[in-house]
Structure formats: C-alpha cells, structure tokens
Amino acid sequence: MQYDIIIIGAGPGGIFSAYELSRLAPQLKIAVFEGGAPLEKRRCPIDGEKVKNCIKCQTCSIMKGFGGAGAFSDGKYNITNEFGGTLYEHIGRSKALELMNYVDQINCQYGGESTKLYSTSNSKFKTLCLQNKLRLLDASVRHLGTDINYIVLKNLYTYLKGHIEFYFYTEIQSVIKIDGGYRVESRDAVYTCQKCIISVGRSGSKWMEKICRDMEIPTHSNRVDIGVRVELPAAVFSHVTDELYESKIVYRTEKFEDMVRTFCMNPHGIVVNENTNGIVTVNGHSYEDPKLHTDNTNFALLVAKHFSEPFKDSNGYGESIARLSNMLGGGVMVQRFGDLIRGRRSTMARIDESWVRPTLAATPGDLSLVLPKRILDGIIEMIYALDKIAPGTANDDTLLYGVEVKFYNMEVELDKNLETRQNGLFIIGDGSGVTHSLSHASASGVYVARYIAGKESI
Ligand SMILES: Cc1cc2nc3c(=O)[nH]c(=O)nc-3n(C[C@H](O)[C@H](O)[C@H](O)COP(=O)(O)OP(=O)(O)OC[C@H]3O[C@@H](n4cnc5c(N)ncnc54)[C@H](O)[C@@H]3O)c2cc1C
C-alpha cells in the first residue's frame, strides 16, 4: 500500500501532525499506524475493587492507543519554554510558543472552550517562593481535565477519520529506507511512503532506539528523573492550585545542591499506576468535572540524575530502581511521611489510621529501602521547604508513593526541522527526546506538518 506520508503513533505528536497535514495538504494520501486501540476501546482493567493493581496487560491502555499516553492524562497543556521539552532549541523560542498557542486554540475549538487558562504572571506566590528558597517557573496552563481531554480527542478523531486512514492494533516493526522513501512493516503487512513521521512516545522508546541503531541515526542519553508522588489534603495546597492550578516549583538542596522540582500537580485528583515496558511506576491525574473530584491533591517530587561517561544507560538506572520497588511492593509502594522520617515502614493499619485517604491501592512499605539516599534526602528537604509556603506538606500523614520515574527517551540527533540525517524521516514528540509534554509534543507535530507542506521553515 503506497502513501505519501506515514505517521507512526497516534499520540498528541502524531495526531497534530495528521491534523495540520490534512488542513494544509489535503491532496496527500496519509496513514496513521497505532499499536494500541481506538479511543473508545481503551480500558485500563484497574477498577479499584476487583482489580486493584496493574496486571501488566500486553498493550497498556493508559500508555497506548488513539490519544497516546495523553489520553487519560490530566490534560494539562503547559504553554512555556521553561519545561516540558527543548523544542525551542530546534525551532526557536517564539515559534515554539506560537505553536503551543495554536495547539491550545485547536483544543478549544474541538471541545475545550469552556476550560480555564491559568497563568503564573503577576502571581504573588512567586515572591513567597523566592522568600523561601524556592523558584516558581513561568507558564500558562490550560487544564482540560481527563474528561474534557477525552472529548477533545473524540472530536479530533471524528474530524481526522474523514481525511486520514487509521490502522489500529498495528504495531510497526521496522522502517527501512528504500528508493524514494521508506518501507514500513507491521507483523503481517508492508506499506511504503515518501516521507515518514515517527511519534512513538515513551512507550515506543526501546523500539525507537532499535530504529536509530539500524538506520545509523546518532542518539544521546544521560538523564532520568526519580522521586515520589506526594498526596495530601487538597486544602493544604488550595491557595496555590486555586490561583495557578499547576505550579512547577524548583528547590536547590542545601546538602548536595541537587535540583528537586514539583511535577504534574493534580488538585482534587487521583494517583494512578503507570506501566512502561512492564515496569509499574506511579503517576496522577484529575478531572475537570467537580463531581469526580477527590479530597486530595497529588504531585510528583523529582530529582534529576545526570550521568557522565562511561555510563550511558540512565533509563536502565531508573528502571532498576522502579523494579526494586516492584519487587518489594508487588507494584507501587506507599509510605506516610511520618513513618519515613522515623525510619519505619508503613503498614496497612498505620495507613488506615491516617487522615489522608489514599486514592491508589498501593502496598504500604519503606521507600528508604528503594530510593538512593541522596535522592531521598533531597525529597525530604524539599518537603520541609514546601511546608513553609504550604504548611501541612510535612505532616506525618502526607502520603508518598514510589517510585515515580520520568524516563527520558534518548535524544535523537535532529536538524532544525526535526528531520533525521535520513532524508524524509522525521522524529517528533517524546520519542525524539526533544519533548516531554502534551503541548511540546503536539507543537512538534504541527511544526513538521507545516514544514512538509512547505509552509514552515526557519
Ligand atoms: C498518566 C499520565 C499523565 C500525564 N499527564 C500529563 C499532563 O497533564 N500534561 C502533560 O503535558 N503531559 C502529561 N503526560 C505526558 C504526555 O502524555 C506525553 O508527554 C505525551 O503524550 C507525548 O506525546 P507523543 O505523541 O510524543 O507520545 P505518546 O502520547 O506516548 O504516543 C505515542 C503513541 O505511539 C504508539 N506506538 C509506540 N510504538 C509504536 C509502534 N512501533 N507502532 C505503532 N504505534 C506505536 C503508542 O501506542 C502511543 O499511542 C502524562 C503521561 C501519563 C502517562
């Protein structure tokens, strides 16, 4: 089957490249190949009753399918160059912001118009952070919420399926350069195209490494973020979340001068499992609909670990730590902050007596047996620093789930147009290592689509 363009992966990167191509180059024959299910068929079996923990499905519905890893996410589209990726290094800061704003406009047009755009500009909270050795990063954030995010994706799919051919449950196994383009192979079929856009996200990271090796595309890798997910009563952070919804706060530890940061804040949200290549880690999200709100807020505290020569496998390091927690806890582990600092494991009885009701059924345990001392020390220091701007953060009953790991895909060597050294092969989104967020991944898709359609170049 011959296409002009094949897009591999139907996450935000793939969706937005398909969307923009359908608009700017409707004459092109385009196909999207997705290893997971269509949106309405995606179901995580964890129901909190019969199935409480991750059963390691062959295809993880949280990570794969139409909408990608973002489908059941909190739908927080951060419009900023301060975090979420380094797209600006390729396409420039103002272009990156322009495209993130464009993505926001499309999201609003397809169902997100009633949602709120929060901003840190003019926030009094910035000063309070600085007075307490913390730094609030600048951003605007559109919170679609898990429910509206789903509606936006559903509407986008309704539009796209009239213009683009979608192949679901079709994991691409290889991409091979041929005369005039690429041969793209699934288990039981072969397709060809002139140009290929790969947008396989974090779940496709191992496959991406193989493709880069096979096609001699250079990659670099040396970072992983490791930490915990904090869950506490929503009231403790409400003065921050009511105004900003999501705040990215950075702290430099006194002991080691390591950077610890908050990540993915979910007011009134829930803590969830995440399964990446069979390893269960923790994440969180929340709904826009107040009826689905919980009494808790959750956010991650992460310490960035950069490795220098000769060690290259930073993701392998993060995986080993996550595996250790899976080994001890059978999945995600939870511990009260009070138990952690007293050097004892949490038990079901202590969790039951606690004033914070966990929103994820995790195994009570001892995170100090899992996390390296330096990382744990950084997290504890940060909790006390946050306690100064949000008193109650360091309460004994604050829950810490572990481990949370942010795996960074190795960074693929790309030019300013996100094209590899193989002519006509583009790598976008989180799979490229350039982006780590919904807005950056989507913007990278728009950028490449415009470039291919001849509407964008710098
Ligand atoms: C629970 C959760 C909550 C999150 N919350 C937020 C948030 O609020 N804000 C934010 O900015 N980010 C959030 N993120 C991160 C965000 O989802 C990602 O940054 C974003 O989805 C990346 O988009 P992408 O298109 O690059 O990749 P992905 O969304 O990962 O999509 C890649 C797609 O490619 C498919 N694929 C992989 N390999 C193949 C193959 N060989 N053949 C065919 N298909 C393949 C996968 O099935 C997947 O559907 C969250 C992530 C999770 C897991």
pLDDT digit string (tens) for 334-347? 999 999 999 999 99
| Interval between CA 384 and ligand 1 midpoint (Å) | 33
Tell me which DSSP letter residue 14 carries. Answer: H
* Atom from ligand 1 closest to the CA of residue 202: 30
| Interval between CA 405 and ligand 1 midpoint (Å) | 15
User: Which residues form the pocket of ligand 1, taking CB atoms under 6 Å from any ligand atom?
Assistant: 8-14, 33-36, 62-65, 68-70, 73-76, 78, 84, 171-172, 199-204, 207, 264, 272, 274, 283, 285, 429-431, 436-439, 441
CA dihedral of residues 251, 255, 258, 260 (deg, nearest 10) = -40
Q: Which residue has the tokens 């999945």?
A: 331
Reading the block at residue 249, the tokens are 């706060």
* Atom from ligand 1 closest to the CA of residue 171: 42
What are the per-10-residue average pLDDT scores of the chain (458 residues)?
Answer: 95 98 97 96 81 78 89 88 95 97 98 94 90 94 92 98 97 97 96 98 91 94 90 96 91 94 94 84 88 96 88 87 91 96 97 96 96 97 97 98 90 96 97 95 98 76
In the prediction, which pLDDT does 71 show?
87
Cα separation, 366 vs 324, in Å, equals: 12
pLDDT digits (tens, 9 = 90+) for 157-205: 999 999 999 999 999 999 999 999 999 999 999 999 999 999 999 889 8
| Interval between CA 441 and ligand 1 midpoint (Å) | 9
| Interval between CA 108 and ligand 1 midpoint (Å) | 20
Q: Which CA distances in Å does 423 have to 195, 270, 419, 452? A: 8, 44, 7, 12
pLDDT digits (tens, 9 = 90+) for 141-159: 999 988 999 999 999 999 9
- What type of residue is 395? N
CA dihedral sign, ordered 301, 307, 311, 313: positive
Q: How far apart are the first and last CA of the chain?
A: 33
Q: Which CA distances in Å does 101 have to 16, 54, 94, 174, 443? A: 13, 36, 11, 34, 9
Mapping DSSP to helix (H, G, I), strand (E, B) and coil, where does residue 169 land? Answer: coil
Smallest CA separation from ligand 1 atom 5, residue:
73
In the prediction, which pLDDT does 170 show?
97
Pocket mutation for ligand 1, best pick of 170, 199, 360 (most atoms within 8 Å of C-beta): 199
Contact assessment for residue 288 and residue 146, using Cβ atoms and an 8 Å cutoff: yes
- Residues paired with 118 in a beta bridge: 141
| Interval between CA 409 and ligand 1 midpoint (Å) | 12
* Atom from ligand 1 closest to the CA of residue 33: 43
* Atom from ligand 1 closest to the CA of residue 445: 25
In the sheet that holds 249-252, the strands lie side by side as 134-136, 249-252, 259-266, 296-306, 223-233, 399-407, 333-336, 363-364
Burial of 309 (0-12, 13-18, 19+ CB in 10 A): exposed
Q: What are phi and psi of 325, to 5 degrees?
A: -70, -35
| Interval between CA 307 and ligand 1 midpoint (Å) | 25
| Interval between CA 12 and ligand 1 midpoint (Å) | 7
Cα separation, 346 vs 369, in Å, equals: 12
- Residues paired with 304 in a beta bridge: 225
* Atom from ligand 1 closest to the CA of residue 63: 53
* Atom from ligand 1 closest to the CA of residue 436: 19
